Amino acid sequence: MKVQKIGLSGLISILAALTIGEFRFIPNSQFKIINSQALAQTQAERKAEADRLFKQGIQQYQISQFQAALQSWQQALIIYREIKDRQGEGKALGNLGNAYFSLGDDAKAIDYLQQDLAIAREIKDRQGEGVSLGNLGNTYFSLGDYAKAIEYAQQWLAIAREIKDRRSEGRALGHLGNAYNSLGDYAKAIEYLQQWLASA
């Protein structure tokens, strides 16, 4: 009997020693307040960091540092996904697609641009959807798939006209003109290029 008491006492001492300094307990009500404030602060800080990386990637891309831009946008993408910023996620995906296009990796470019397009449609970002369609059309054009390039450019043109984005409308018309020119359909190429000229 005495051995059991000593054993139990020893066990309690060991458990007490193991837990000293490991945890700080906060009453539930206080925990909820502190936790929500910390979460809000963390969310804002994480978004600011993702936005900084996103802008850094643009600067790197503009001076042809495509690999560095890829890294910046990949890091931004991870954060945007963590904080569930769908618009930021879509923009990062689109820019990653453009970077892979510039590096000549058309398959990866298309993959990222398709993800960007899906998010733009999900969040009903019509301008973002148009940009995604234009980038996809451009990628298929570079692959020599003029039929797909035309399909995406026509969708882009329709959105540009719907939202009255004259600049995008002109660019979409230019893409269509170039695609039809590459197909040897000069009449249609001229028609679209003349519309582009009028829009400009």
Please tell me the pTM assigned to this model.
0.76
Same domain, 62 and 112: yes
Q: For the packed helices 86-102 and 106-122, what is the interaxial angle rounded to 10 degrees?
A: 160
The parent domain of residue 118 ranges over 35-124
Same domain, 139 and 176: yes
* 97 token code pair: 């697609």
Nearest to 61 by CA among 114, 102, 108, 93: 102
Same domain, 56 and 120: yes
Same domain, 62 and 138: no
Same domain, 149 and 135: yes
What's the number of domains the chain is made of? 2
**Could you say which of 124, 156, 191 is where a domain stops?**
124
In a domain, 112, yes or no: yes
Same domain, 157 and 193: yes
Q: How many Cβ atoms sit within 10 Å of the Cβ of residue 115?
A: 19
In a domain, 52, yes or no: yes
Same domain, 84 and 153: no
pLDDT digits (tens, 9 = 90+) for 9-49: 443 343 333 333 333 333 444 444 445 555 556 889 999 99
* 55 token code pair: 């802008």
Q: Which residues of the chain have pLDDT under 50?
A: 1-34
In a domain, 11, yes or no: no
Same domain, 119 and 145: no
Return the H-helix or E-strand segment holding 82. helix 66-82
Same domain, 111 and 133: no
Same domain, 109 and 177: no
What pLDDT was estimated at residue 40?
Answer: 57
Q: What DSSP state is assigned to residue 25?
A: -
In a domain, 26, yes or no: no
In a domain, 4, yes or no: no
| Residue 132's CATH number | 1.25.40.10
Same domain, 131 and 120: no
Report how far residue 184's alpha carbon sits from residue 37's, in angstroms, rounded to the nearest whole number: 62
Report how far residue 56's alpha carbon sits from residue 172's, in angstroms, rounded to the nearest whole number: 28
What pLDDT was estimated at residue 30?
Answer: 44
What pLDDT was estimated at residue 42?
Answer: 87
**Could you say which of 124, 139, 163 is where a domain stops?**
124
In a domain, 167, yes or no: yes
Same domain, 138 and 188: yes
**Could you say which of 124, 157, 181 is where a domain stops?**
124
Query: Residues of 96-108 as b/e, b for ≥16 C-beta within 10 angstroms?
Result: bbbbbbeeeebeb
In a domain, 196, yes or no: yes
